[in-house]
Structure 1
């Protein structure tokens, strides 16, 4: 039995907060419900086919009377009324009611199940209509499919923006009969297919969950909201999973993709937010994902299209993210030294893509917002603490991987460069009066932009500077009741409320849990928990996490593309590697240092690592770690060495060249 089943990810649609547009995917296609309807279906995508303007509406004829499925608010409405529903990774189930008395009682319960096809374009809509009265009715289901067409879009063109409508192949509708005599208290089922059937989508999803979550631990807790947040975080990752046979990798991990947009894959959010969890989910396929990025020339691109074509411009965080994913991959398998050598070549070339700073040449000028993380105002640009600090970590990690694999990189030089970078970040950019990092433009102009990106540099800061940075993590500045603001609300120059992911009033969905994880790693467990707990509302109100969300109120902007995001996995990553302190290492060892939480008890069961099964129990007053059922004693520093280093020095298993 897999640790999780599809029903474990079921979500009550009555609890959904904006954006209300809900999509569901099969791994080869996606489809959306029509908001406000019980049975209506919106646009769908099955690459290379796109039908964003497709619309299927349903009405009923009951004893010759029309019952519409688009009920308007107000008294006297005689349409089919929505009554809630459930999202699962493989389907959307909606319920509706029609209860009218006119020359006798007509009382119908309607349930629709919307399932995207797997392996063929389109979807299936199944209607189950139950007669709740003793009267007999003549019933006809009347589908109306808009006269739209599905058109071919080359896989290389599936980037950030969803494909627009176009002309191409006709969209056809088929069914198994839509008229019946519905006896009292009887039930009838109708099946309507657009393009092709979806009979095995559920079986595909059951197999996918067993495969992807087979080594990911289940979480149970008496802390309100934590368990559901963890599950919804996992669902966010699963919603980005594609197994299309024509994509460059199987699986292909999209940045978003449910609405046809951001079906591309960014190195930045694929590797930079949940590398440990993603490596557990992918297994040996993680090597194919890494290879696909190396093949796409990240020195001039930030993402790959589904066919592997490079997209965009050079991205400042790509190299760090790809090294993070490679380090996670190294923990469970032997890596070919040729892979590390090629990664080094790509990283050095990418490094040279950005100009040296104008003082010592040690730091890099990372350009403007097109190369960074898209603040809308000037501020966090050019010579900045992050990602220069991440660059230092990247060089050190390459040296570590070289030593373990025998890749023969200049390890001493890499470590020396890392030390110089850290020193120069502090010397050139730290403002002791502001207790913050300045960014410096080519002409010498500097800015104090209180961006959440500065906290990424915590990993490279000495304690006194780290503590100064952390002093800004307070309510009314970076902390909101429902998350973290990407720009401090105290920053008059840069804070705004319109574009929330990087400019204030909210944040990109991976940022708050990543900040919590960083705080745990840097020895601030109480503050880390305080940050993470602010996000638990999301597990109660989203089937999968959107691109960004507000920090001062629950929800996300109702306009724009706010669908699913791979960085939604960061919540589960923070729980596993931060709260539970699970640390897989490139030498094959596994160290576990749980953080205690006064709020309650947490159990993580069934972590699979190098053939072992690890269970962790965390209480307010202590913890226990079990390996293959045997209790493990911690070292004097509180760390449990759950798995010792591999004999070969770098894990065992698959390799890649």
Structure 2
């Protein structure tokens, strides 16, 4: 049975989301300020941006004003925030007011529903008020709109940093403001109601922006957008399996991982693809598609979600000059600098698209030419490449993982092998033998030139001969790409222990016992935590390497995230269950890597380039896992890691059997 929206409900009382909580319709994304029951913050609906917009709601009961967002402590005597629930497509917040005034009790239960609009730039706020006092009252809503500096931002300018406000909007009438060619409008369905004892009243407000006013009553707009959320979720999850497990936290983690992908999908028909896969985007930042995380971390889950649109997403990124850019804006404009991992990321996505949908010979040839062009962008160092400094690599703040490094040189070899396979499967006429020979030479050079047997780790080599050993999680990607002998792998795996790479709540990008490079200021890549895709990708690597015990040691340390994040942030700490505060991107498409690791690692699903499938489930410590309803090339696959059984369209198949 497919997932419903309600199954992704998240209790906001447990949220550790940095920068508080946002919600998206796939057209508009909007902020729910902390501590507020009815307040609304900034919002984005490309090309429209309203980063400093605010909506505050004040209640009036029989002439007594009640403010929202009461301050903590005894001084906070307004409407008191009492929790809420986040769903894909809406946020519900609860509040309470229970005080006596002039001998009369005012007791209200307040519930607001914030719905970002689909097909319109803006949002609807519905406020439901229940009168708990034993007398009739009259309730009036006083909305206070501060539109800030809304502006139209060309689609080619939506990059890493959220758009800044434009000139302040000017009031042009009752509930209307103008900023350049952008009109902001507040509409409602009445602001005053008589409320009998025990009765309930519902108010609805809409704030919209555009070149002119829009039609539609607020409640109708909210219902339409909620319906679109149901449709979008059903479409994206139609081929994604349902997970059930008695392992504490695993089901919540799986759902949180899926949501991390869902909130990165945008449907605006003005974008280069629809859906468009943003790297982040909820707070208006990184509303662009990186080759790096679009393709690199969860290619199979993303392809399952996108369906036939996955090919267009792959082609859209291939159109940009990756020798100059790392990402595309929503209209396909290239952004940023050349990035060392872009070629690998595209080949990774292409292998998934080939397995699920097939690739044409011409697209495989185009991919080969693109990868070769990007490869030529970096300076040769024998069979290896010099990838320069942090500008093109991991952005560590210390000197270390730079220039001639094991990763991404190992990924180069992996790409060449995959291109050879893609050529053979698709009928493209690539020089497969030469590609495989070059891949072999690269792997041999990595082992010969970069492996330090005494240190049991790779060295990074600078042009002047200086070398460094950086115990970085990226080295395990070199293992995954086939650059390690069993002896090398054994030495590296010995570092997967507490006090080195492992910590109670995840992995550290730099091992804690690397005293030269480990630091706590850059959780992303330098220590004290890691980029959100790295932990599950390490677990997947370990399952692929035949190390299920170590794989589970990594994966189980990540399960807390499903309980504390409605969607996964860009990076998180590994020594405590939290993420860095504001200043980082608050969501990341690489959060899908968790589901990818469970599906293709723990459940042993191997999607093959020729369209066949091999499933080799293995039992997990401490409980069972069942995946039902995996859709692949018109078939439906169900998997149990407890019994090791696999069924295809209801018929049992042997584990490890090639399913054609």
- TM norm. shorter chain > 0.5: yes
Distance 1:574 1:6, change over 3 A: same
Q: Quote how far apart the aligned CAs of 1:119 are.
A: 1.1
Distance in 1 (CA, whole Å) between partners of 2:274 and 2:249 is 33
**Normalization by structure 1: what TM-score?**
0.95
d(CA) in 2 for partners of 1:593, 1:631: 13
Is 1:569–2:592 an aligned residue pair? yes
Structure 2 residue aligned with 1:32:
31
1:176 aligns with 2:189: yes
Matching residue of 2:429: 408
SS at match of 1:201: helix
Counterpart-to-counterpart distance in 1, 2:156 and 2:621: 50
Residue in 1 aligned with 2:607? 584
* Alignment match, 1:652: none
Displacement, 1:420?
Answer: 0.4
Does structure 1 residue 130 correspond to structure 2 residue 130?
A: yes
5+ residue gaps, structure 2: 168-178, 209-213, 215-220
CA distance in 2, matches of 1:534, 1:586: 32
Give the paired residue count.
Answer: 633
Is the Cα–Cα contact under 8 Å of residues 556 and 562 in structure 1 kept in the other structure?
no
Tell whether 2:652 aligns with 1:631: yes
2:514 aligned partner: 491
Aligned match for 1:188, one of 195, 201, 207: 201
Q: Tell me by how many angstroms 1:603 deviates.
A: 0.8
Distance 1:335 1:147 in 2: 47
Please show how residues 411-422 of structure 1 align to structure 2 within 5 Å: 411-422=432-443
2:364 to 334, 340, 344: 340
Does 1:232 find its partner at 2:256? yes
Counterpart for residue 46 of structure 1: 45
Structure 1 residue 101 displacement after superposition:
2.4
Q: Which residue of 1 aligns with 2:616?
A: 593
Among 635, 639, 650, the residue aligned to 1:612: 635
Give the match's secondary structure for 1:161: coil
Q: Is 1:537 matched with 2:557? A: no
2:239 matches 1:215: yes
Residues 76, 149 of structure 1: alpha-carbon distance in 2 compared, 3 angstrom cutoff: closer
Take 1:241 and 1:234, find their aligned partners in 2: how far apart are those partners? 11
Q: What secondary structure sits across from 1:171 in the alignment?
A: strand
Q: TM-score, normalised by structure 2?
A: 0.95
Root mean square deviation, CA, Å = 1.1
- Quick check: 1:106 aligned with 2:106? yes
Which moves more between the two structures, 144-153 or 421-430? 144-153
More off after superposition, 164-173 vs 442-451: 164-173
1:455 partnered with 2:476: yes
Q: Work out the CA distance in 2 between the residues paired with 1:493 and 1:121.
A: 49
* Mapped pair 1:249 → 2:273: yes
Counterpart position of 1:445: 466
Cα drift, residue 337 of structure 1:
0.3
Whether 2:292 is the aligned partner of 1:268: answer: yes
Please state whether the residue corresponding to 2:98 is helix, strand or coil.
Answer: strand
Q: Distance in 1 between matches of 2:114 and 2:394?
A: 36
Partner deviation per Cα, 1:562-603 (whole Å, 9 max, x = no partner): 411000000000000000010110111100011211210111
- Asked if the contact 2:294/2:345 (under 8 Å) is kept, the reply is yes
Aligned to 1:205: 229
Of residues 624, 640, 656, the one that matches 2:657 is 640
Alignment partner, residue 16 of structure 2:
17
The 3-state SS of whatever aligns with 2:488 is: helix
2:503 pairs with one of 476, 480, 492:
480
Quote how far apart the aligned CAs of 1:172 are.
Answer: 2.1
- Distance in 2 (alpha carbons) for counterparts of 1:150 and 1:68: 26
Q: Does 1:325 align with 2:324?
A: no
- Over 3 Å counting, the alpha-carbon distance change for 1:428 and 1:151 in structure 2 is same
**What residue number does 2:573 align with?**
550
Matched, 1:79 2:78: yes
Residue 217 of structure 2 aligns with which residue? none
After superposing the two structures, state which structure 1 stretch, 164-173 or 118-127, moved more.
164-173
Q: Using the TM superposition, name which of 372-381 and 346-355 deviates more.
A: 372-381
Query: Which segment drifts farther, 301-310 or 95-104?
Result: 95-104
Q: CA deviation at 1:159?
A: 0.3
Distance 1:174 1:423, change over 3 A: same
* Contact preservation (8 Å) 2:405, 2:460: yes
Partner of 2:175: none
Q: Find the residue that maps to 1:597 and give its secondary structure.
A: coil
Contact persistence 1:18–1:557 (CA under 8 A): no
Alpha-carbon deviation of 1:611?
1.3
